[in-house]
């Protein structure tokens, strides 16, 4: 049974699951569907045509499922579908799809920090982090386990690949490939997200493969058609497959690497030696 604060306004046509907690001064509109165990903090608003899965936390002042910000208004507009176990903090805004048959979709286990905004028709995967005041324009796609740094803005229709890490104050106007790091401010690729890869269980051999693919993409000065052919031919399996899959459907171009000398090398380390070096470093630290 739901717990509804005396000051909250919950439309009787809304659906609330078991164990839902609705805090003071919240508003839940008609047609909203809130799954089991969700918690709505004070002054949060769940708009119509919004579906929340289970165990979502909605912070103070958040507005979930508002109409698309668009000059041409569709009535009633699309829907918003949010998965399970998301943490949506204070004053976050998420808009539902623009067309009546369109949807904004949020996956599972995401964290949307204070003041971040997800526009209409976006696709946010699972285990993603949007830091404070991130702005996603309409139709943006963010793949699983991506990290978008504070106060970054992502232009409409851009894509961010899985496990990409974007530094704060970035201005994303082109697609960000999977597995890379983008330096904030200059908004250029500065290498692979190696820390993120290791934390997510990628083996030294898999990281080495990604380094080889990265060198083909950014370091060899090849024509783009040739890059795509090499990626498809030389990396038919393993995590590097994701590069070709991502690049072959791009329409906005891709964020480039920070300008460096073409003579610069990308260090390729034997996995066994890499493990030995890290172990040696730990021994020196202990000493």
Average pLDDT, the chain: 94
Instruction: Tell me the CA distances in angstroms from 49 to 93, 98, 165, one per residue in order.
Output: 15, 12, 32
Q: Count the residues in the chain.
A: 287
pLDDT tens sequence across 212-269: 999 999 999 999 999 999 999 999 999 999 999 999 999 999 999 997 655 555 555 5
Q: Which of 23, 83, 125, 138 is catalytic?
A: 138
97 is catalytic: no
The catalytic residue among 55, 121, 143, 175 is 121
pLDDT in tens, 157-190: 999 999 999 999 999 999 999 999 999 999 999 9
Spatial separation of the C-alpha atoms in residues 274 and 172, rounded to whole Å:
33
CB 97 within 8 A of CB 91: no
What residue spans define the domains of the chain?
3-139
From the candidates 43, 120, 139, 244, which is the catalytic residue?
A: 120
| Superfamily for the 3-139 domain | Hexapeptide repeat proteins (2.160.10.10)
Q: Is 120 a catalytic residue?
A: yes
pTM of the model: 0.89
How much is the average pLDDT of 135-160? 98
19 catalytically annotated: no
Q: What pLDDT digit, counting tens, does each position of 98-124 carry? A: 999 999 999 999 999 999 999 999 999
What is the phi/psi pair of residue 212, to 5°?
Answer: -60, -45
Rounded Cα distance, 38 and 3, in Å: 11
Residue 273 has pLDDT above 70, yes or no: no
- 17-56 residue pLDDT tens: 999 999 999 999 999 999 999 999 999 999 999 999 999 9
């Amino acid at each position: 049974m739901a717990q509804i604060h005396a000051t909250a306004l919950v439309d009787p046509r809304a659906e609330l699951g078991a164990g839902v907690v609705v805090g003071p001064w919240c508003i839940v509109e008609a047609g909203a569907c809130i799954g089991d165990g969700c918690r709505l903090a004070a002054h949060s608003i769940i708009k119509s045509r919004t579906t929340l899965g289970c165990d979502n936390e909605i912070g103070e002042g958040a507005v979930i499922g508002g109409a698309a910000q668009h000059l041409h208004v569709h009535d009633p507009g699309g829907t918003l579908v949010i998965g399970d176990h998301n943490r949506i903090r204070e004053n976050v805004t998420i808009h539902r799809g623009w067309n009546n048959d369109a949807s904004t979709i949020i996956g599972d286990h995401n964290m949307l920090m204070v003041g971040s905004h997800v526009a209409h028709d976006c696709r946010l995967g699972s285990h993603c982090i949007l830091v404070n005041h991130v702005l996603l324009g309409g139709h943006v796609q963010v793949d699983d386990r991506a990290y978008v740094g504070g106060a970054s803005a992502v232009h409409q229709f851009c894509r961010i690949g899985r496990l990409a890490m974007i530094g704060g104050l970035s201005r994303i106007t082109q697609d960000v490939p999977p597995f890379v790091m983008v330096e904030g401010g200059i908004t250029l690729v500065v290498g692979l997200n190696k820390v993120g890869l290791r934390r997510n269980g990628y083996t030294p051999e898999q990281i080495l493969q990604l380094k080889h693919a990265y060198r083909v993409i950014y370091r060899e000065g090849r024509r783009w058609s040739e890059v795509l052919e090499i990626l498809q031919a030389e990396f038919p399996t393993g995590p590097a497959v994701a590069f070709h899959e991502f690049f072959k459907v791009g329409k906005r171009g891709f964020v480039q690497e920070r300008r460096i000398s073409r003579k610069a090398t990308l260090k390729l380390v034997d996995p066994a030696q890499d493990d030995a070096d890290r172990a040696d470093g730990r021994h020196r630290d202990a000493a």
